[in-house]
Structure 1
Amino acid sequence: MDIAHPSDARTEPFAAGEAVVLRSVNTYGRHGRAVGFAVAGRVLVDDDELAVVASPVGSAMRRRAGAGSGPNGRLILPEHWDGSYVDDTWSGAPVVRVHQKGSPWSVWRWHDGTAWMPHWYMNLELPWARTATGFDTQDWTLDVIAGTDRDGTWSVRYKDEDELAYYAGTGHWPESMRAIIERAGKEASSVALARTFPFDVDWSQWIPDAAWPVPELPAKWDQLE
């Protein structure tokens, strides 16, 4: 496990439309520090306050290969990973990720080409750090889902609590880290309930440009600095 908050390896912001890779980095047993998941995207905003990245359908992805375990059968423990990756692509609908610099989460929304889809997703994670090819983070398993129910009520709930408990039970996340993750979950839930930034801003400024080519991963997407 590696929970050190990295600093930006690249100080120059990425330009709008530039292809980047978002990577979740952690320590995986005998494999050491490595990329656990990577997805290509295109930058919409990158400045001192925000990083906004869109992954259209077809964006290149890589995820660790190995036997799945846990409550959903999709968690790969370090000892079950052989060091290889599954080639994949982003499917469903284009996703836009908004990360306020320094926050232990990013807020995701999906745009179907006509309108924003109804639910918001808060991915709990290590604050993003700019790299030579994109942004590195560390996924923390637990997530927050927000949206308007059929009766018009705004609701907020956790997602993957069972997976967090499983990882904690196996020692992948020790109790000290679990406490950090759960505290971030409470803070994220408070933001969602209050509908403060970025729930209170006009997301039309972040609609992906449909004319941009689908991004690929850079040649050295799995190399760490």
Structure 2
Amino acid sequence: MRRFRPGETAVRRDVFRHKVWSAHAFHVVEDGPEALVVGCRPGAEVLAPTTWIEWLRTGDRDVRVQALPNLARGDWRLGRWSWRDTAHRQWVPPGAWFSVNAFYDVSDGDRLAHWYVNFQRPLHRTRLGFDTFDLLLDLVAAPDLSRWEWKDEDEYAHGRRLGVVSDADHRAVEGAREQAVAMIGERDGPFAAEANWRDWHTEPGRPAPALPEDVLTFGLR
């Protein structure tokens, strides 16, 4: 699979049982042997489950909770959404069961707001970008990495009960947890000072990345 050039659009699709669960358009920051790095500002096109969109609009926790049973049954609808409020940079290394995400407050000069380690299946590159699947568990860290905490352990456990997270997924995530915590402790990868992620800025004048027309049908395995 070809490498992406900086500035190209790359789409992250979360795919479950050969069906798109979500799709997010990004700009490519860099694509090298260590990782594919993508980013976006508010306005980037997203397809997401309608339950997630309704939860964002209303704050109704019950709506969000319904998303997992829908996922397990393979019964969900997607709606269009635009990324909002933050700039987002994502580091996706080949073969890893997690990505490192940085979120920036665009209302405050692109100040780094927090880090987010997302546990997910290893990326599968496509012509559109890459496919993966979010495994529900996350680790959230302060901008200076002085503290961190696990997030959504309850959703992860529920996903295991429903069969969304398989036993094989769980074993891989257990190993990935240790890797992610070690990276934070060692200030490695995007957490390294020399990586300059704290000072990253997107280009405000650049058009927001858009999703291609065949995003729901292309090359599903």
Instruction: State which of 211, 214, 217 in structure 1 corresponds to 2:208.
Output: 214
CA-CA distance at 1:180 after TM superposition: 2.1
TM-score under structure 2 length normalisation: 0.82
Stretch deviating more after TM superposition (210-219 or 70-79): 70-79
The answer to whether the Cα contact below 8 Å between 1:71 and 1:163 also exists between their aligned partners in 2 is no
The answer to whether the Cα contact below 8 Å between 1:44 and 1:206 also exists between their aligned partners in 2 is no
CA-CA distance at 1:153 after TM superposition: 7.5
The answer to whether the Cα contact below 8 Å between 2:72 and 2:163 also exists between their aligned partners in 1 is no
Instruction: Report the identity percentage.
Output: 27
The answer to whether the Cα contact below 8 Å between 1:39 and 1:60 also exists between their aligned partners in 2 is yes
Q: Does 1:167 align with 2:164?
A: no
Matches within 5 A, 1:75-86: 75-77=67-69, 78=71, 82-86=75-79
Per the alignment, do residues 130 and 79 of structure 1 end up closer, same or farther by CA in structure 2, a change over 3 Å counting? closer
- Determine the C-alpha separation between the residues in 1 that align with 2:140 and 2:119: 11
5+ residue gaps, structure 2: 56-60
- Determine the C-alpha separation between the residues in 1 that align with 2:90 and 2:66: 23
CA-CA distance at 1:74 after TM superposition: 5.3
5+ residue gaps, structure 1: 1-10, 28-32
TM-score under structure 1 length normalisation: 0.81
Structure with more helix by fraction:
2
The answer to whether the Cα contact below 8 Å between 1:125 and 1:139 also exists between their aligned partners in 2 is yes
Instruction: State which of 124, 135, 139 in structure 2 corresponds to 1:129.
Output: 124
CA-CA distance at 1:71 after TM superposition: 10
Instruction: State which of 104, 109, 112 in structure 1 corresponds to 2:105.
Output: 112
Per the alignment, do residues 207 and 129 of structure 1 end up closer, same or farther by CA in structure 2, a change over 3 Å counting? farther
- Determine the C-alpha separation between the residues in 2 that align with 1:186 and 1:75: 28
- Determine the C-alpha separation between the residues in 2 that align with 1:65 and 1:185: 30
The answer to whether the Cα contact below 8 Å between 1:66 and 1:82 also exists between their aligned partners in 2 is no
- Determine the C-alpha separation between the residues in 2 that align with 1:24 and 1:88: 15
The answer to whether the Cα contact below 8 Å between 1:94 and 1:112 also exists between their aligned partners in 2 is yes
1:119 alignment partner, SS class: strand
Stretch deviating more after TM superposition (83-92 or 35-44): 83-92
Per the alignment, do residues 207 and 74 of structure 1 end up closer, same or farther by CA in structure 2, a change over 3 Å counting? farther
The answer to whether the Cα contact below 8 Å between 2:44 and 2:82 also exists between their aligned partners in 1 is yes
CA-CA distance at 1:100 after TM superposition: 2.3
Q: Does 1:19 align with 2:9?
A: yes
What one-letter code is carried by the residue in structure 2 that aligns with 1:100?
P
The answer to whether the Cα contact below 8 Å between 1:109 and 1:116 also exists between their aligned partners in 2 is no
CA-CA distance at 1:79 after TM superposition: 5.4
What one-letter code is carried by the residue in structure 1 that aligns with 2:87?
P
CA RMSD in angstroms comes to: 2.6
What does residue 4 of structure 1 align with?
none
Deviations 1:173-194 (A, max 9, x none): 2334323223212221221222
Instruction: State which of 174, 179, 194 in structure 2 corresponds to 1:187.
Output: 179
The answer to whether the Cα contact below 8 Å between 1:71 and 1:162 also exists between their aligned partners in 2 is no
Deviations 1:86-115 (A, max 9, x none): 111111211011122222211111223424
1:165 alignment partner, SS class: helix
